[in-house]
Amino acid sequence: MSAVLAPQVEMLPMNAGDLDEIMAIEASVYPFPWTRGNFTDSLSAGYSAWVCRVGGELVGYVVVMMAVDEAHLLNISVAGKRQHMGFGARLLRHALQVARRLGAGRLLLEVRPSNTAALDLYKHFGFVRIGVRKAYYPASDGREDALVLVHSLAEVSA
Ligand SMILES: CC(C)(COP(=O)(O)OP(=O)(O)OC[C@H]1O[C@@H](n2cnc3c(N)ncnc32)[C@H](O)[C@@H]1OP(=O)(O)O)[C@@H](O)C(=O)NCCC(=O)NCCS
C-alpha cells in the first residue's frame, strides 16, 4: 500500500525575500492593493508579519500591528486559487495567538461592508462590530465605509 503525504503547512515570519510572491497575490485579490512600500514599511517597523507556505508555495499572509495593549490586523490575504481551503482561518488563528502572546487584550480590524468573504470569516471567529469609519476606503465609485470589528483575546488559547 502506498502512503500519500500531505504537503507541509508552515507559518513563517515574513521577510523581504517573500515580497515578490506577496505582491503577485496582493495585486490579484484586492481592487486597491497595498504597495511594496507598505510591506517594507511594515517589516521595518517590526510589525508581526507572517506567511503561510504549503509545500514551499506561499499561499497567504497576515500583518498585525501592536499598539500598546491592542493589536490591529492590517492585512490578511489568501491567494485566489487557495481560498476556501482553510488558510484564511489558519492565518487569523495565528494572528490572534501572536497578538495575545505579545500582550494585547483585543484584536481590532477594519473591513469593507461589501467584503462578504472576509466578514464571514470574522463572524466565524466571533468578531463583533464596534463601529463604522465613514468613507474610509477608496472605491470605484468614490469612497466606502469601514466596519470596525473586535475580538477579545481573553479566550484565545496561547
Ligand atoms: C478573506 C480571506 C482571507 C478568507 O480566506 P480563505 O482561505 O478563503 O478562508 P477559509 O477557507 O479559512 O474560510 C474560513 C471561513 O470563512 C468563511 N468564508 C471564507 N470565504 C468565504 C466566502 N467566499 N463565502 C462565504 N464564507 C466564506 C466561511 O465561514 C469559512 O468557514 P467554512 O470553511 O467552515 O465554510 C480571503 O477570501 C481573501 O484573501 N480575500 C481577499 C483579501 C481580503 O479581502 N482580505 C480581508 C481584508 S479585511
Residues 131-151: tens digit of each pLDDT: 999 999 999 889 999 999 999
- Torsional class of 45: left (φ above 0), alpha (ψ -120 to 50), beta (otherwise): alpha
Looking at residue 102, what is its pLDDT? 94
Q: Is 18 helix (H, G, I), strand (E, B) or coil?
A: helix
Residue 92 CA to ligand 1 centre (angstroms):
10
The predicted model scores a pTM of 0.93
| Beta carbon of 29 within 6 Å of any ligand 1 atom | yes
Sign of CA dihedral 41, 78, 90, 17: negative
Cα–ligand 1 centroid distance for 52 (angstroms): 15
> Which whole-number Å values give the CA distances from 21 to 14, 24, 25, 26, in the listed order?
11, 5, 7, 9
> For residue 154, what pLDDT is reported?
86
* 158 pLDDT above the threshold of 70: no
CA distance 79 to 59: 5
Q: Is 115 in the pocket of ligand 1 (CB under 6 A)?
A: yes
d(CA 42, CA 74): 9
Out of 50, 54, 110, 121, mutate this one to test ligand 1's pocket (max ligand atoms within 8 Å of CB): namely 121
- For the chain, percent of residues with pLDDT exceeding 70: 96
Average pLDDT in the chain? 95
pLDDT band of 157, cuts 50, 70, 90: low
Under the banding of pLDDT at 50, 70 and 90, the label for residue 98 is very high
- Does any ligand 1 atom lie closer than 6 A to the CB of residue 75? no
Question: Is 149 touching ligand 1 by the criterion CB < 6 Å?
Answer: no
- The DSSP-derived string for 21-53 is HHHHHHHHH-SSPPPHHHHHHHHHTT-EEEEEE
Architecture of domain 9-152: 3-Layer(aba) Sandwich (3.40)
According to the model, what pLDDT value does residue 49 have? 98
Which neighbouring-strand residues pair with 73?
64, 109
Residue nearest to atom 24 of ligand 1 (CA): 117
Cα 63 from Cα 49, distance rounded (Å): 4
For 13-46, how does the pLDDT look when each residue is reduced to its tens digit (9 = 90+)? Answer: 999 999 999 999 999 999 999 999 999 999 999 9
Question: Binning pLDDT at 50, 70 and 90, where does residue 5 land?
Answer: confident
Tell me, using a 6 A CB cutoff, whether residue 102 lines ligand 1.
Answer: no
State the catalytic residues: 110, 122
152 CB burial (10 A radius; 0-12, 13-18, 19+): middle
